[in-house]
Amino acid sequence: MSTTTTLMLELRGLNKSFQLHQQQGARLDVLRGLDLQLHAGECVVLSGPSGAGKSSLLRVIYANYRPSRGAVRVRHQDRWLDLAKATPHEVLDVRRHTLGYVSQFLRVIPRVPALDIVAEPLVELGLDMQQARRRAAYLLDRLNVPERLWQLPPGTFSGGEQQRVNIARGLIVPRPILLLDEPTASLDADNRAIVAELLAEARGAGSAVLGIFHDEDMRDRVATRLFPMQALEAA
């Protein structure tokens, strides 16, 4: 990357271990001394075998997991914030405006139709419901989710349909940093290509993307750089 691009995310000396009190206090080390920089407009893909801590890393950055040591520095509305030390209210504000996360699985909310699940993050930012639904409809349409499904709760949708609803929800707010944990695992080649297009558009608009893609074709299509990871040796 050129030195003129804006640094968006910086990890310094990141450690993560789990202390399992129900298993005689066993300790699981998943990340140790990890450093990473992510700039606006780039797409860094985490690579490495399963068990290397890729998903855990994304969860630590999203503040879903608490780091054991180190800093998760995020550029949030022109100031820097360390999520490892931020208050819950600060983390929520960063998630609303700056940091998006799309997992493999849609968290279905009973009785809420697909269109509203997608629109919700925009409504939370204060946008009018009608406008938010229009934007949601646009994304669902682009992702080939049939219109007859939009008014239904996605609990009974296929895995691929749920995944596309989840991607639409994750991308509806144009956030400066996007974390993607295999968001295309259950999609066919055509729909993967559409997701690749949407990600290219997000990057073009200045978003920084950090993701996990096991599919090699998808990885080659979206990655500007790979970040290799390895499982830690048992201590």
Largest CA distance in the chain: 55
**Tell me, what amino acid is at 51?**
G
Cβ proximity to another protein: between 44 and 72 the closer is 72
Report how far residue 179's alpha carbon sits from residue 211's, in angstroms, rounded to the nearest whole number. Answer: 6
Q: How far is the CB of 38 from another protein (least distance, A)?
A: 22
Q: How far is the CB of 71 from another protein (least distance, A)?
A: 17
CA triplet 15, 74, 55: central angle to 5 degrees?
45
Cβ proximity to another protein: between 91 and 194 the closer is 91
Residue 71: count of CB within 10 angstroms of its CB? 17
Q: How far is the CB of 111 from another protein (least distance, A)?
A: 4
User: In the sheet that 99-102 helps form, which strands lie side by side, from edge to edge?
Assistant: 99-102, 177-181, 208-212, 43-47, 225-228
Cβ proximity to another protein: between 59 and 175 the closer is 59
Cβ proximity to another protein: between 48 and 113 the closer is 113
Which residues in this chain contact another protein in the complex, by CB under 8 A?
Answer: 18-22, 59, 63-66, 88-89, 91-92, 109-112, 123-124
Q: How far is the CB of 154 from another protein (least distance, A)?
A: 14
Q: What contacts 48, CB < 8 A, 6 or more positions away?
A: 54, 228, 229, 230, 231
* Terminal-residue alpha carbon distance, the chain: 35
CB 28 within 8 A of CB 20: yes
Q: How far is the CB of 59 from another protein (least distance, A)?
A: 7
Report how far residue 94's alpha carbon sits from residue 119's, in angstroms, rounded to the nearest whole number. Answer: 19
CB 25 within 8 A of CB 19: yes
Cβ proximity to another protein: between 55 and 191 the closer is 55
Q: How far is the CB of 105 from another protein (least distance, A)?
A: 12
Cβ proximity to another protein: between 4 and 22 the closer is 22
